[in-house]
């Protein structure tokens, strides 16, 4: 990326002052190497977002940012309804409420060594993964609406998991304001038999090992110790979220054209907060959040069933579940004034600091667990939200390593089979229905997750707590 024009406010904070039609500056959190390696399109897209009506404070990009449809992935933008703020489907992305949840197991690495291969094979056999994967559950139209209104809470009521899980999920497992009536029949049809499935792309289910603790006090608060085995699930709202994103992007673009709204980029189609289309989108998007929460809850139940058969002494309570593709109404203090903002996070993890009222009592003293999945075969990290982070980007942090090249480029450089063999030599068991999918997700196709995490930690977006490395990865 061209760095000309940026003011370097600190080592890790790059500031592009508001010029021309920009209403606010762009702020990117990154080190110089990450900045240089970012495509110019990230800058262009973040600048375009800064031009949208009612944007507050800045158009932010996290250290894992890369360009995407309209808004960059790793982008955070908040809008104030009292200043003509907007909602944009592109600011959330296609995989609505894609996120990560992490489960404890109560086990140490050696407890699973004897059954590791069997565990990998059983997880792969029983957890539906890949493009178009379907599960054992088929929802009729009434059940679909209940699921879309109830999220993980609906899943627990229907026998998937435990009530204790709910307080460890954003929104208590149930996003309020979801309106199943705003979800198209086509979106519901696509989702009918996709509950409890992983999907494809960067989604995965990993059995991981805690290899490093950076903050003993917070790690203790999270119930994490060295050499613990944990399970991370990364997936979203599958076909339903994708369909909603597609439909509303199209509809918002058409509406903008007919209303003569000048967009800096057609892909930034948006609508004023409070307008009928924005309200319908929010209702549908919140239903998709519930779909993703229910999906991860059902997957959790499947994992627990498998563990109870293979390692009966294992107990799998939920550490936390957090999304990184959402638009949420949140209260933030700007220049001493409390304002209700519509915060878009696209490939950015919510990272609320200590004392935040939305956190459950057990996590309020430490700050919210910020679950960050790395690329396949590298490392994942658990961070904690900080008070400082609440001021830096509305309580947000990065969401992963971030792609360094396109999927197409990756398939020209690597073969999936080679990647699987290389990782097997490091005792990382990959199971996937798609060799091509594995090639697209080759570790080399991503930025260095550790460099991204160092920036997030040192910039103060979130605070490093633990590092996890994969033992088994079920890849979509």
Interface with DNA by CB under 7 A: which residues?
Answer: 94-95, 98, 130-132, 186, 190, 194, 199-203, 235-236, 238-239, 242-243, 407, 434, 436-437, 476
Residue 66 assigned ligand-binding role? no
Residue closer to DNA by CB (options 199, 353) is 199
Cα(461)–Cα(105) distance, integer angstroms: 28
| Cα gap 345→323, rounded to integer Å | 9
Least Å distance, CB 408 to DNA, is: 8
Cβ atoms within 10 Å of 449's Cβ, excluding its own: 23
Where residue 232 falls (left for φ over 0; alpha for ψ -120 to 50; beta otherwise) is beta
Contacts of 357 (CB under 8 A, 6+ apart): none
399 in active site: yes
User: Which residues in 418-460 belong to E strands, given as ranges?
Assistant: 429-431
310 is in an annotated binding site: no
Torsion of CA 166, 172, 176, 181, to 10 degrees: -20
d(CA 176, CA 309): 36
Query: Is 130 or 177 the residue whose CB approaches DNA more closely?
Result: 130
Give CA separation, 130 vs 198, 322, 451, 474, in Å. 7, 22, 29, 10
As a whole number of angstroms, the distance between CA 22 and CA 369 comes to 34
Q: Is 203 annotated as a binding residue?
A: yes
Residue 95 or 171: the one with the smaller Cβ distance to DNA is: 95
Distance of CA 11 to CAs 15, 33, 165, 373, 459, Å? 11, 11, 40, 25, 9
Is 200 labelled a binding residue? no
Other CB atoms within 10 A of residue 227 CB: 13
Nearest to 61 by CA among 120, 113, 128, 16: 16
The secondary structure of 84-134 as a DSSP string is T-EE-GGGT-SSTT-EEEEEEEEEEHHHHHTTHHHHHHHHHHHS--STT--
Whether 399 has a binding-site annotation, put simply, is yes
Between 295 and 366, name the residue whose CB sits nearer to DNA. Answer: 295
Q: Is 164 labeled as ligand-binding?
A: no
Q: How far is CA 336 from the centre of its chain?
A: 30
Q: Is 463 annotated as a binding residue?
A: no
Residue 421 in marked binding region: no
Provide, rounded to whole angstroms, the least separation between the CB of residue 246 and DNA: 8
> Is residue 202 marked as binding?
yes
The helix or strand, by DSSP H or E, that contains position 276, with its residue range, turns out to be helix 276-310
Q: How many residues in the chain?
A: 476
Considering the complex, what minimum distance in angstroms separates the CB of residue 356 from DNA? 28
| Complex with DNA: residue 242 or 304, whichever CB lies closer | 242
Tell me whether residue 229 or residue 252 sits nearer to DNA (CB atom).
252
Give the DSSP per-residue string, 312-341. TT----EEEEEESEEEEEEEEEETTEEEEE
Give 151 or 199: the residue with its C-beta nearer to DNA. Answer: 199
Set 399, 408, 415, 463: catalytic member: 399
User: Catalytic residues, which ones?
Assistant: 399
Q: Residues annotated in the binding site, as ranges?
A: 95, 202-206, 234, 324-325, 373-376, 380, 399-402, 475
Binding residues for GMP: 202-206, 324-325, 373-376, 380, 399-402, 475
Binding-site entries for Mn(2+): 95, 203, 234, 324
């Amino acid at each position: 990326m061209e760095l000309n024009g940026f003011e370097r406010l600190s080592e890790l904070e790059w500031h592009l002052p508001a010029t021309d039609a920009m209403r606010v500056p762009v702020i990117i959190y990154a080190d110089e190497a990450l900045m240089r390696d970012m495509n110019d399109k990230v800058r262009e897209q973040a600048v375009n977002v800064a031009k949208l009506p009612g944007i507050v404070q800045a158009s932010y990009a996290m250290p894992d940012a890369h360009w995407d449809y309209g808004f960059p992935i790793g982008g955070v933008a908040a809008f104030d309804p009292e200043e003509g703020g907007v909602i944009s489907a592109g600011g959330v992305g296609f995989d609505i409420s894609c996120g990560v949840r992490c489960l404890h197991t109560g086990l140490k690495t050696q407890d699973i060594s004897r059954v590791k291969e069997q565990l990998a094979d059983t997880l792969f056999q029983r957890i539906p993964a890949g493009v178009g994967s379907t599960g054992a559950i088929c929802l009729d139209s009434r059940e679909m609406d209940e699921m879309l209104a109830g999220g993980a809470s609906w899943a627990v009521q229907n026998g998937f998991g435990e009530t204790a899980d709910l307080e460890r999920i954003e929104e208590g497992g149930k996003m309020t304001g979801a309106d199943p009536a705003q979800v198209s029949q086509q979106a519901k049809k696509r989702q009918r038999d996709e509950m409890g499935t992983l999907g494809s792309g960067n989604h995965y289910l990993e059995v991981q090992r805690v290899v490093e603790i950076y903050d003993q006090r917070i790690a203790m608060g999270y119930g994490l110790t060295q050499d613990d085995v944990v399970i991370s699930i990364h997936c979203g709202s599958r076909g339903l979220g994708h369909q909603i994103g597609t439909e509303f992007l199209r509809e918002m673009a058409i509406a903008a054209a007919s209303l003569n709204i000048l967009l800096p980029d057609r892909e930034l189609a948006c609508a004023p907060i409070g307008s009928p289309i924005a309200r319908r989108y929010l209702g549908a998007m919140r239903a998709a959040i519930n779909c993703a929460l229910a999906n991860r809850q059902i997957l959790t139940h499947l994992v627990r069933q498998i563990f109870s058969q293979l390692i009966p002494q294992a107990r799998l309570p939920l550490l936390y579940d957090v999304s990184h593709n959402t638009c949420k109404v949140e209260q933030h203090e700007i220049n001493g004034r409390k304002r209700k903002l519509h915060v878009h996070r696209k490939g950015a993890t919510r990272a609320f600091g200590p004392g935040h009222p939305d956190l459950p009592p057990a996590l309020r003293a430490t700050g919210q667990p910020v679950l960050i999945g790395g690329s396949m075969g590298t490392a994942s990290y658990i961070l904690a939200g900080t008070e400082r982070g609440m001021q830096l980007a509305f309580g947000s942090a990065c969401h992963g390593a971030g792609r360094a090249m396109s999927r197409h480029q990756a398939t020209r450089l690597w073969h999936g089979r080679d990647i699987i063999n290389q990782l097997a030599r490091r005792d990382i068991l990959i199971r996937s229905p798609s060799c091509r999918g594995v090639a697209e997700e080759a570790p080399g196709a991503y930025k260095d997750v550790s460099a991204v995490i160092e920036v997030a930690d040192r910039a103060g977006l979130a605070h490093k707590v633990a590092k996890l490395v994969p033992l088994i990865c079920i890849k979509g």
